[in-house]
Structure 1
């Protein structure tokens, strides 16, 4: 008679099972890190601007000796901004393309990010390629060009929105963005000074406080952001009348100024358009509203361009949408749009959407429901919406809430 087959002790089977799972986990983690590393080292080019103009880019260090920076940690510090200007360029096909981010700035940004983020979780900044030429002449095809102020989200640097800036400039806009010390994550000035954001200037940290305290916290930051825009417009007016280099003298149409921004930059655009009549049209790209604009409303043409919020039903999200709806309802019918991009993610409205290309990472994010459409596709749809709105209200091109929809961009959902 055969001896019964011996059963392995349960403890040994459990241990072996855990060992197999650990090996699989280690393999999967290693594969993920490998994917991140390859993604980090792979060269990538931003989307080609869709307009007829070549694009130039110029940088300025603008300071205001008469005004204190209210968000600076040291009292008495004067306001200073690093200003980026993208514009229709006269450069020919053979003109050399400037670095996406100048080398001294790259080094400072990578140090600030730390080795994990700068080596694994983000692109090698030296391998990102844009389409702008450095300090080329402004195109002579038009006497002057409308101006669009572009504001980044929260602590993001404005160069991380180069896709939008270059596309608008290629369609005949002068796009002006800026990085502000103590609010922007990292600002590197031409003389090598590196300024970091002060933690207390992060509007996201205002959440969770009592309502009155939260309002004071956010409004302090919001006021500084809107005043920054006013200062930049003042300097642009000066540049338009007395640019020593002659590049921008008489080339800026300061009667046609638009303002748009992403996230907190979008909230800033709305508040600034409420505060300053120089804003002739504005766009909030997926930004929660703050400030007096919620109660007072707007009079200029304005568009709310939203990511996909279809799954959100918590009280905070519903209140955010209610505030947007409230302003939208009070806008003139001929000067308002509210659009949702189906499948869009809040965090891919910057160049990050163009840089995220790893199939493993994308499949993982889609499986988790984090992203619904490809990041480059999201940027293309957004650029079309932003350009169409400003064409309508800064250039006078005919567009309406009914015909901004396009068969080329079925993701656009015009909301009532």
Structure 2
């Protein structure tokens, strides 16, 4: 199961923030005092994504709130209930393999074995258990910060073990391509061939897909 029982942690409070935002968007779409957003928002095509703690929060928010129609979780263990039952909505998980996490531990510290195990098993369990479409993407050579903008801040990111051995721009292009493809397919109904199977453009990526 997942490492985080959402009801017993800060995750529950952050999930309530997501619900609050959705409530406010619905209210503004109905009647915006500023006269800007009323009737302009397509709340039938709302997606959400997050990395690390944000990914945990989005996983739990999507489990609880069907107003979120597509959910992308990056490099984050699945909350316990999400790992057990998956998601009803389409979900994508983007992460790395256990070997990459151990390499990050060797170079930068952190990532005890129990945490690596929880990360790997809970994400995969959530992917396999969901009733909606599922996508599982692993990008080799990445460290946790490769899923953020940190490698773009300094060319020394790899020297300081802030980024994995993969080229930083390459990692970003992969993460961006799969993220955009996921939302384009699941929220906009577009035919996206990148999500049909292994990619010639990104041969290093391990990709699995499961249709409902």
Same fold at TM > 0.5? yes
Partner of 1:330: 129
1:275 Cα deviation after fit: 0.4
Partner Cα distance (2:60, 2:96) in 1 = 20
User: TM-score, normalization: structure 1?
Assistant: 0.43
Q: 1:108-257 to 2 correspondence within 5 Å?
A: 219-257=8-46
**In 1, are the aligned partners of 2:84 and 2:129 still within 8 Å (CA)?**
no
| Aligned counterparts of 1:382 and 1:312: Cα–Cα separation in 2 | 17
Structure (1 or 2) with the greater helix fraction: 2
Structure 2 counterpart of 1:390, from 183, 187, 194: 183
1:349 Cα deviation after fit: 1.7
CA contact (8 A) 2:77 2:118 kept: no
Q: Relative to structure 2, which stretch is displaced further, 394-403 or 377-386? A: 394-403
1:352 aligned to 2:141? no
Query: Equivalent residues in 2 for 1:288-299 (5 A)?
Result: 288-299=77-88
Using the size of structure 2 for normalisation, the TM-score is 0.80
In our comparison, the structure showing a higher alpha carbon Rg is 1
Q: Secondary structure at the match of 1:228?
A: helix
Q: Distance in 2 between matches of 1:271 and 1:225?
A: 10
**Aligned-partner SS, 1:287:** coil
In 1, the alpha carbon distance for the partners of 2:163 and 2:58 equals 26
Question: Which consecutive residues of structure 2, in runs of 5 or more, have no partner in the other structure?
Answer: 103-112
CA distance in 2 between counterparts of 1:218 and 1:327 reads 18
Residues 197 and 208, structure 2, Cα contact 8 Å, conserved in 1: no
Question: Once the 2 structures are TM-superposed, how far is the Cα of residue 251 of structure 1 from its aligned partner?
Answer: 2.0
Structure with bigger RCO (C-alpha 8 Å, 6+ apart): 2
Cα pair 1:307 1:341 within 8 Å, conserved: yes
TM-superposition CA deviations, 1:165-214 (whole Å, max 9, x none) = xxxxxxxxxxxxxxxxxxxxxxxxxxxxxxxxxxxxxxxxxxxxxxxxx9
**Structure with greater proportional strand content:** 1
1:364 equivalenced with 2:159 (yes/no): yes
Cα drift, residue 286 of structure 1: 0.5
Give the C-alpha shift of residue 260 in structure 1. 0.8
The question of whether the paired residues in 2 share the 8 Å contact of 1:356 and 1:375 is answered with no
Q: Mark the CA change 1:401 to 1:270 in structure 2 (over 3 Å): closer, same or farther.
A: farther
The CA distance in 2 between the partners of 1:380 and 1:260, in whole Å, is: 17
Change (3 A) 1:247 1:217: closer
Compared with structure 1, are the counterparts of its residues 217 and 397 closer, same or farther at alpha carbon in structure 2 (3 Å cutoff)? closer
The offset of 1:291, in angstroms, is 4.1
Task: Give the match's secondary structure for 1:237.
Answer: helix
Q: Deviations over 1:10-55 (max 9, x none)?
A: xxxxxxxxxxxxxxxxxxxxxxxxxxxxxxxxxxxxxxxxxxxxxx
- Mark the CA change 1:243 to 1:377 in structure 2 (over 3 Å): closer, same or farther: farther
In structure 1, distance between residues paired with 2:190 and 2:6: 40
CA contact (8 A) 1:354 1:379 kept: no
Aligned-partner Cα distance in 1 for 2:39–2:199: 36
For these two proteins, the number of residue pairs brought into alignment is 197
- TM-fit CA distance, 1:281: 1.0
The answer to whether residue 127 in structure 2 is matched with residue 321 in structure 1 is: no
Tell me if structure 2 keeps the 8 A contact 1:260–1:282.
yes
Q: Is the 8 A contact 1:353 1:378 kept in 2?
A: no
TM-aligned CA distance change 1:215 to 1:311, over 3 Å: closer
| TM-fit CA distance, 1:308 | 4.6
